Structure 1
Amino acid sequence: MNLNMNSMESVVAQIQGLSSNSSDITQLHNFLKQSEELLHSDFSRLLSSLAELDPSIHSLGFLYILEACISFPVAKEHVSELLVSVARFINSCSAEQIQLAPNKFISVCKKFKDHIFGLETPIRGVAPMLTAIRKLQSSSEQLTTLHADFLLLCILAKCYKTGFSVLEDDIYECDQPREFFLYCYYGGMVCIGQKQFRKALELLHNVVTAPMSTLNAIAVEAYKKYILVSLIHLGQFSTSFPKYTSSVAQRNLKNFSQPYLELSNSYGTGRISELETFVQTNKEKFESVSFLEVNLMHFLIF
């Protein structure tokens, strides 16, 4: 078969003709890698080309075209149509084929997430992103770069039960420490939403005690939530850090969490009226707290 290509029509023809077996798909993959420049220069034909392909059969080729398509600026009136195409692809694509180009698949899913955020409709992304994780994983023990994005979508959509489903997996494979960091932070928030406080403590503990050379905002926010969840689940909070906690965290976390530590002291008196008075008196210090933290404080008082 002649693999010379100078138009989107010939790209589509190659995809349709080389998607039936592993040998053909390997040949197609090499062809698509050589066609990147064309794919990223002919936006006018990209969307219409997708209509000629079956995402369940032509998954690899569909992925390459979709990734090129979604990399272009998308007019607001076309965003919803594009998101439907991405969701349809995620649901029906072959895991075996997309795992040949994992970075392309991840790129598509992250752009999908960004557009979902732009439309402020996070619930639209929850189910497709969960499916994407399962198709990208080589096993349920693998943490992907999509886990944190999925958990954040669940938090924003308040789909805590769905988010909690991935937290029940035992994770033993993680390529990037940052991904585990975000997974634990967002996972802790999902557990708070589900009132699974023991698991929330475990995940937030991982964030607070993780190795770090400089303090970061996520560790600070995790520590604040760790204080509140400890009070709810354990009835007390210890300001002592485990020995394996980084010196950066031990030196700085308390300085950025003073209102929460003071709240812990008020709770420790056992007088709810004093705790309620403290929260009301220091209301301005808690103005930027998240919806979940507000619920935790309400839980403590009532």
Structure 2
Amino acid sequence: MESVEAVVAHIQGLSGSSDEVAHLHSLLKQSEDYLTSQAARLAPFLDQLDPIKHSLGYLFLLDAYSSGQISRDQSHRFLLPVVDFINHCSVEQIRLVPDKFISVCKRLKDHVMHLQVPIQGVAPLRTAVRKLQSSSEHLTTLHSDFLLLCILAKCYKIGLSVLEEDIFEVDQPKDLFLFCYYGGMIYIGLKRFGKALEHLHNAVTAPMMSLNAIAVEAYKKYILVSLIHNGQLPSFPKYTSVTAQRNLKTYTQLYIDLANCYTAGKFSELEMFIQTNLEKFQNDNNLGLAKQVLASLYKRNIQRLTQTYLTLSLQDIANIVQLKTAKEAEMHVLQMIQDGEIHATINQKDGMVSFQEDPEQYKSCHMIEHIDSSIQRVMMLSKKLRATDEHISCDPAYVSKVGKERPRFEFDEFDPVPHKFL
């Protein structure tokens, strides 16, 4: 068995041309078990390597070193070389062993979470995602780790750097479920409930052969955000898997009951329901959202009034929606007008509210640009789906599988040839 010194010498001497790197890769694979057994003494050898020139070898040593036990006192000796490596490593070399790169990055994530300093891993993980991606449409297994650190560090806006990209290529189903779930949580943190619903919706309706815990937790938040944003819980779309449609409600009955209570529109009853089940919501880490559901009921009930009345006093609004004073009603109405959720004017002299029609005529330059950009996006997605469909239909594995599952055609299944052509 070669010594660590010999392995380091190979790394320093075979990190030039692509042929040399390929040969080095072969040698390093043979030394994996030995390097792992020497994990405790590898740290000093990392200082002898350049993370830019010797990326492949550095990664092998770093992976072996990080697989060992690292004490809290040694944390800086672990964090600094890992972060430096991620920032400077060669993309071409690390992609020769993506599993090792992923493993090192996940250990970095686990380490900063253990030290309760998630913010220290946010920037390195974002860089790691970019280096691992084959394109911006590629969802890597590191996306969810990056988003989790953004959530724990409350760096929600940094998470948008990957959430606002269209994803068409996924390595593992679990990566997609976690990406959608964490993405929904980030948009909830930013109070962008519409976008949160999109991501949670994708987690709930994604194809699944068996129910998974991520989809269950996503559906709980999906119910709460739907009530906050739309005032109702939509039914499952047709393309939702049978597994989800049959089982999700069974595991989220508390939240279904909450939605039914919300629909009744009585603030005191909803408040009592949440108070009664306070511990359950707390255990699910959904108590904050449940309280926002309660607060949104005022808004929803005021919106219902616009469908019945043309004018109404602030005191009447307060009485109907169960607010304590006319002043509280005024504050809610003003906030809803500012957010564009209702269209109304308040007469300060007599305290009357006049509800109005939506003034949007959908003919402004801004609206036309918005509609045009939406059309262009739909056309781009349609083109992408067509190309993906053509690619799959030509895939030998897919054609072979479909051919085995599809029964052979019988002769009389074909249309007969007209006699005049015989």
TM-score by length of 2: 0.66
How far off its partner does 1:171 sit? 0.7
Aligned partner letter, 1:50: L
> Which residue among 200, 206, 213 is the counterpart of 1:204?
200
Give the secondary structure class of the aligned counterpart of 1:287. helix
> Which residue among 292, 305, 312 is the counterpart of 1:299?
292
Q: Which residue of 1 aligns with 2:165?
A: 169
Q: Which residue of 2 aligns with 1:109?
A: 105
Deviations 1:209-268 (A, max 9, x none): 222233222111111100111112212112x22222222222221122222122222222
Structure 2: give runs of 5+ residues left out of the alignment. Answer: 296-422
Deviations 1:94-141 (A, max 9, x none): 112111111110111112222222222222211111111101111111
Count residues in correspondence: 295
Question: Equivalents in 2 of 1:243, 1:264: separation in Å?
Answer: 21
Question: Equivalents in 1 of 2:149, 2:79: separation in Å?
Answer: 15
> Which residue among 224, 234, 252 is the counterpart of 2:247?
252
Alignment pair present for 1:78 and 2:74 = yes
Q: Which residue of 2 aligns with 1:280?
A: 275
Give the secondary structure class of the aligned counterpart of 2:214. helix
Of all paired residues, the percent bearing the same amino acid is 61
> Which residue among 264, 271, 275 is the counterpart of 1:269?
264
Quick check: 1:90–1:132 contact (8 Å CA) kept in 2?
A: yes
Question: Equivalents in 2 of 1:104, 1:169: separation in Å?
Answer: 26
Question: Equivalents in 1 of 2:10, 2:209: separation in Å?
Answer: 50
Aligned partner letter, 1:236: Q
Aligned partner letter, 2:141: T
Question: Equivalents in 2 of 1:44, 1:187: separation in Å?
Answer: 37
How far off its partner does 1:272 sit? 3.2
> Which residue among 35, 39, 43 is the counterpart of 2:31?
35
Q: Which residue of 2 aligns with 1:132?
A: 128
Taking a change above 3 Å as real, the CA distance of residues 38 and 284 of structure 1, as seen in their structure-2 partners, is closer
With CA pairs under 8 Å and 6+ residues apart, which has the higher RCO, 1 or 2? 1
Question: Equivalents in 1 of 2:156, 2:227: separation in Å?
Answer: 21
Matches within 5 A, 1:82-161: 82-161=78-157
Q: Which moved more, 1:173-182 or 1:36-45?
A: 36-45
Structure 1: give runs of 5+ residues left out of the alignment. Answer: none
Deviations 1:62-121 (A, max 9, x none): 101000111112233213321222111111111121111111101111122222222222
Quick check: 2:156–2:187 contact (8 Å CA) kept in 1?
A: yes
Give the secondary structure class of the aligned counterpart of 2:7. helix
Aligned partner letter, 1:296: L
Taking a change above 3 Å as real, the CA distance of residues 227 and 44 of structure 1, as seen in their structure-2 partners, is closer
TM-score by length of 1: 0.91
Question: Equivalents in 2 of 1:25, 1:159: separation in Å?
Answer: 38
How far off its partner does 1:44 sit? 4.4
Q: Which residue of 1 aligns with 2:312?
A: none
Quick check: 1:116–1:124 contact (8 Å CA) kept in 2?
A: yes
What root-mean-square deviation, in Å, do the aligned CA atoms of Structure 1 and Structure 2 show?
1.8
> Which residue among 170, 175, 180 is the counterpart of 2:176?
180
Question: Equivalents in 1 of 2:276, 2:35: separation in Å?
Answer: 60
Alignment pair present for 1:242 and 2:220 = no
Quick check: 1:232–1:299 contact (8 Å CA) kept in 2?
A: yes
How far off its partner does 1:142 sit? 0.6
Question: Equivalents in 2 of 1:28, 1:285: separation in Å?
Answer: 55
Aligned partner letter, 1:45: R
